[in-house]
Each structure stands twice: as structure tokens, then as C-alpha cells.
Amino acid sequence: MSSQMRRIALARRPSGLPVPEDFALKEAPMPAPGAGEVLVEVTHLSLDPYMRGRMDDAGSYAASVDLDGTMVGQGVGRVIASRDDAFDEGDLVTGMTGWASHAVVPAQGLRKLDDRLPPTTALGVLGMPGFTAWTGLRDFGRPKAGETLAVAAATGPVGSLVGQLAKAAGLRTVAIAGGAEKCQLASERFGFDAAIDHRACVGASALREAIAAEAPDGIDIYWENTGGKVLEAVMPLMNTHGRIPICGTIAWYGGADGTEDRLPKVWRSILVKRLSVNGFIIFDHWDGYPAFLEEMTPRVAAGDISFLEDVAQGLENAPAAFISMLTGGNTGKQIVQLA
């Protein structure tokens, strides 16, 4: 076993979009597990938009990462030392390892993985993003056959599963994605009924026209991953009694993007159209995770669900991959494979 481990620390709090200088690669002595703890050698790390919120001082959904603290995140890896009866050396596990080559994790925070599925599925389609899509659509989207769903960031790990679940439930599904390549993915790989390239539409009005053409009966569920231009485009297309699960507002991580006050129109639309707008964060819903795994694991194993991963190489490249992901530079679930 190496005597040193590596980790990515929060070097300073970003303003808007993070930059490489906000992160620092550090070495530290290899930690030893205490009683009831397990030492994991991380093989794959998940990068997710929620981590941007954790870099802020406060006010986001969960505890901030401390300055010089290790960036939070889920990883998969092998147990290399265990002081808990439930885990043995060599077990394939997942848990909140952080952005690090190794991590000591309490046994109750780890889950053994089924060796028959690719281990990265535990970070994507069967991990937090997949569970987010499944929970949010069921609890806050409340899909009904014959309705229309629109989702932005549609080729991302959440959006792509939202689309597939909605389609399977009998909805018309409209993808909004950035660039022709992602639109092709949305249609061909993820089975959306239509895909719209928001980059090809200058301004919210042009985007709205493009979406309207593919949603002739209006939109019943707008799955909110982005905010920004897409929200502005979609809002007038919402049907009465529509639902908007708010899962992310990635377009606004860097601050506001508009000049006029869009709040009155949106707020009034919520009233006039009797919309149900619900913010949700998957960390509140872990009770339902076993039911999700029970339903979705066989569907993934059977190849009924498509998913896509974008794998960066090496812990040292995690910050660049993360920054790129926040501006849509990834294609599919962003993962870092550790050396």
C-alpha cells in the first residue's frame, strides 16, 4: 500500500464559474481506518453539478466544503483495509469518498456493488443522477400518458433518464441540448421524440418557437435543469396544471444573465396556469433508494435503459473536467477514472 494519498482541495471560493486556481492537488499520509471504518482505493469518481453549490460559503443545500477541505463527491473503488465485519478486502464498493485517491469511510456509508454491472453505473444511471431522475419525475413531475415533457441538458445523466422514463410512461418527450451532436444523441440513443439545439436559437423567442413546433399540445412537465434562456422559452408554452420539478439552475451558477426583471411574468404564469413548481434535492429522498435500485437495476442490466459516460483520466484532471461540465463540455455522465 502506498504511504501517501492524493486529494483535490478547495483552494478558494469561486465567484461564478470556478477556475483551476480554485482547486489544489495535495498529498497527505495514507489514512488508517478506525473501528467500523473502511479504507477504499478509489477507482472512479463522480462529478456532479451540485458540487458547485458546496463550494460556496453557505446558503446552498448542504454543508459547504471548508477551505482546504477535500471536495465532496461519490466514488467507487476497492476495499483495501477494513475494520468492519460487513466489508472485506477486495470488495467493490461505493460511497462518499470525496475527490481523492483513497478515503476512509464509515461502513454504514458504503454499499457493496454487484460485480456483474460496470462499476461506474453506481455513479450514474444507478447512482445519484439516476435516482434523481426517477424520484423527481415520479414525485414532482407526476407524468400521465399522452402528456408532453421537455427537458434541458437532455443528454446529461439526469435528463437522459428523465426522457427515457417519461417516454416509457407514454409521454411525448422533447429534448433541449447544446449542439447538433448532443441533439443527435438525444434522438438516436436516448429515444426523445424531438431534440432542439438551443445554441442554434438566438434568444429565448427563437428557442420558444423551435420548442413550440415540437410540442404542438404544449408542455405539461418542464424538467428544470438549467434556468436561464430555456426557462424563459418554455414558460409561455406550459399547459394549465403543468409541473416544473426544479432539479438544477446551472445556467445561473455564474450569476444572472438577463437585464429585465423576469420574475413578475414567471410568477404570474405559475398562478394563471396553476403550475406546481417544486425544488427538490435528492439527498432528502434516500429512503426511496432501495426501491429505485430494485426497479431500475434489472432494467439497466437488461439493456432497456441507455446511458452514456464521459470519462476523464486522472485525479489531477478532475477540476478541468468539472469546470468543463458546468458549461456543457461533457457528453454524458462525467466520471473521473483514477490512475
* Cell numbers linked to 150: 421537455
**Per CB under 8 A, does 60 bind a second copy?**
yes
Q: Which CB, 157 or 227, lies closer to a second copy?
A: 227
From residue 191 to residue 230, the character string flagging contacts with a second copy as x (rule: CB under 8 A) and all else as - is: ---------------------------------x--xx--
Tell me the number of residues near a second copy by CB under 8 A: 41
Range in contact with a second copy (rule: CB under 8 A) among 10-18, 111-119, 144-152, 253-261: 253-261
From residue 143 to residue 182, the character string flagging contacts with a second copy as x (rule: CB under 8 A) and all else as - is: ----------------------------------------
65: closest CA among 27, 23, 94, 6?
Answer: 23
Which of 257, 286, 295, 327 forms a contact with a second copy (CB under 8 A)?
A: 257
Range in contact with a second copy (rule: CB under 8 A) among 6-14, 273-281, 301-309, 323-331: 273-281
190: closest CA among 23, 331, 14, 336?
Answer: 331
Whole-Å CA distances, 270 to 20, 154, 266, 274: 39, 23, 6, 6
Q: Which CB, 112 or 268, lies closer to a second copy?
A: 268
Range in contact with a second copy (rule: CB under 8 A) among 119-127, 270-278, 296-304, 308-316: 270-278
Whole-number minimum distance, CB 223 to a second copy, in Å? 13
Whole-number minimum distance, CB 322 to a second copy, in Å? 19
CA gyration radius, the chain = 20
Range in contact with a second copy (rule: CB under 8 A) among 141-149, 254-262, 287-295, 323-331: 254-262
Helix, coil or strand: residue 82 = strand
End-to-end CA distance of the chain: 15
Whole-number minimum distance, CB 252 to a second copy, in Å? 4
- By the 10 Å C-beta count (0-12 exposed, 13-18 middle, 19+ buried), 264 is classed as exposed
Range in contact with a second copy (rule: CB under 8 A) among 102-110, 127-135, 258-266, 321-329: 258-266
102: closest CA among 39, 44, 26, 25?
Answer: 39
Range in contact with a second copy (rule: CB under 8 A) among 25-33, 38-46, 162-170, 260-268: 260-268
Quick check: 319 and 140 in contact, CB under 8 A? no
**Per CB under 8 A, does 16 bind a second copy?**
no
Q: Which CB, 94 or 225, lies closer to a second copy?
A: 225
Q: Rounded to an integer, what distance in angstroms lies between the CA atom of residue 271 and that of residue 253?
A: 26
309: closest CA among 50, 114, 119?
Answer: 119
CA atoms within 13 A on the CB side of 191: 16
Whole-number minimum distance, CB 240 to a second copy, in Å? 9
Using CB under 8 A, which residues numbered 86 to 105 contact a second copy?
none
**Per CB under 8 A, does 246 bind a second copy?**
yes
Which of 35, 259, 287, 290 forms a contact with a second copy (CB under 8 A)?
A: 259
Using CB under 8 A, which residues numbered 276 to 295 contact a second copy?
276-281, 284
Helices (H), the chain: 50-54, 128-136, 157-168, 180-184, 203-214, 228-234, 263-272, 289-301, 318-326
Q: Rounded to an integer, what distance in angstroms lies between the CA atom of residue 218 and that of residue 313?
A: 42
Site of interaction with a second copy (CB under 8 A): 53, 59-61, 224, 227-228, 231, 246-249, 252, 255-281, 284
